[in-house]
Each structure stands twice: as C-alpha cells, then as structure tokens.
Amino acid sequence: MAGIRVQQKLLTNTFRNFHRGTIFREKKSTETLSTASKNVEPKKEEDTIKSPLGAVMYKTKTLDKYLLVWFKKYKSVADVPYQIREETMAHIHSKSRIRIANVLMVLGLLGCVWAVWSGKKEAASGDNVQKRILDKNKKLREDYLAKLEKSKST
C-alpha cells in the first residue's frame, strides 16, 4: 500500500513540475545504496540523495548563479555547480524576492519623500500646475491670434 502512495506522489510531483524544463531527477549511485545497506550514514552534503529515484535537481542559469553568490552559498560564480537541488534554489528565490521587495519599498518611500519635498519647494516659490496650464494656454492663444492677423493681412 505504501508503494502505491509513493508512486502516486511521484506522479503528482512530476506533473506539477512538468512545466519546468530545467528540473530533472538525478540517478541514485550504487555507492549510496551500498552505504545504506551497511548502516553507515552518508555524508550530509547538499547533494545527499534521499529519494529512491534521486534528488530533484535544478540546472542553474546565470542569474541563479549570481543569486547563489549574493546569498553566500558559494564564494564565486565559478564555484557554482551546473546542478543544484531544487529545494536550495526555491529557498534562494524566496529570499531574493523578499530582499528585492524590501529594496523596492525603501525606494518607493524615498520617492514619496522626494515628491513631498519638491512639491513644498515649488509651492514656496509660487509655482503650481494651474499656473503652468494658464501660462501655456495664454501662449497658445497669443500664437493663434498672431497667426490669424498674419493670414488676414495677406
């Protein structure tokens, strides 16, 4: 019964991740199988395989490599491997979304402060939108009347 549930879960996860072309399963090595049969714990590394079919791996792209270096998972872009576990990349993507959202909130707040400051500065100098519109309409009217006089005289 448990084997059927494992197969159902595997199929469900496969169909959920079907739209992602860069995710695939790594084959479990015979070395890991032999250490499991001898009751010896394998090394706890990032590439430790827990599933009988292997860990779900993610092919890193250039942006992913820079994100991994930004969050100090690796020392340089050259050190980042071709494949990373999907859980690690999901964690890095979540952290990057949070950090980018925080940066955008701070920039938005600074933009609001700048808008208030510049509006108060312009209001103190007597400049406002209504005055600009009236000046523009006055200039357009003068140009139009000058053009009419010119056309009447010819």
Model pLDDT for residues 64-109, shown as the tens digit of each residue: 999 999 998 899 999 989 888 888 889 999 999 999 999 999 999 9
Of 38, 37, 57, the closest CA to residue 47 belongs to 57
Inside any domain, residue 99: no
- Asked if residue 49 has pLDDT above 60, the reply is no
Strands 23-25 and 56-59: antiparallel
Number of domains the chain contains? 1
Could you tell me if residue 125 is inside a domain? no
Residue 37 lies in a domain: yes
Residue 18 lies in a domain: yes
**What is the mean predicted confidence (pLDDT) over 142-148?**
93
Tokens of 62: 């250039």
Domain presence at residue 96: no
Mean pLDDT of 106-134: 92
Sign of CA dihedral 10, 12, 17, 18: positive
Residue 16 domain boundaries: 1-58
Report percent pLDDT > 90 for the chain.
38
Indicate whether 10 belongs to any domain.
Answer: yes
Mean pLDDT estimate for the chain: 78
Residue 33: inside a domain, yes or no?
yes
pTM of the predicted protein model: 0.52
Is 49 within the bounds of a domain? yes
Asked if pLDDT for residue 30 goes beyond 90, the answer is: no
